[in-house]
Amino acid sequence: MVTKEEKYRRKRLLMDFGDKSYPNRTEIDNRKFTPYRIAHACFACRKSYKILVDFLDIKDGYKCPQCAGRLEYMGRSFKAPKHTDGKQWEKIKLLFDAGFLFSSYRSFPDAETLPETLREVEDFIIRNPNHPMRVLP
């Protein structure tokens, strides 16, 4: 059985002479958030783009590459409907305007899921003033 001292000695040898590069401890502590590709949508073009977002360097917003309009932050679980599906895009726009984001329900298994059709949206918004995916009142 190898002692803790021997493990530490071997690790130091690897760090000093090995081919593995270990990050500096201050680099690890200074990096609080990892950048993600997060869905953004342009309601004018009915298109969605996944943009690399670094939460330490949040900008005022992103512009649509097609129309130069504003791209709206939709959340990590957003799945855009087809460009031609106008009712689904209208549903998404109504939910977004009501303050809902499209995030994972893993942390909130008891929360009501977002509506499937445009017809259900108005009733859903009225029923769920404190829904966990609703970030704006």
- 43 falls within a domain: yes
37 occurs within a structural domain: yes
- pLDDT tens for residues 104-124? 888 888 889 999 999 999 999
Decide if 90 contacts 64 (C-beta within 8 A): no
pTM of model > 0.95? no
The range of the structural domain enclosing residue 99 comes to 33-127
Structural domain count of the chain = 1
Q: Which residues of the chain have pLDDT under 50?
A: 28
What length does the chain have? 137
The string of pLDDT tens digits covering residues 119-132 is 999 999 999 999 99
Instruction: Reduce the DSSP state of residue 42 to 3 states and report it.
Output: strand
Tokens describing residue 29: 């502590």
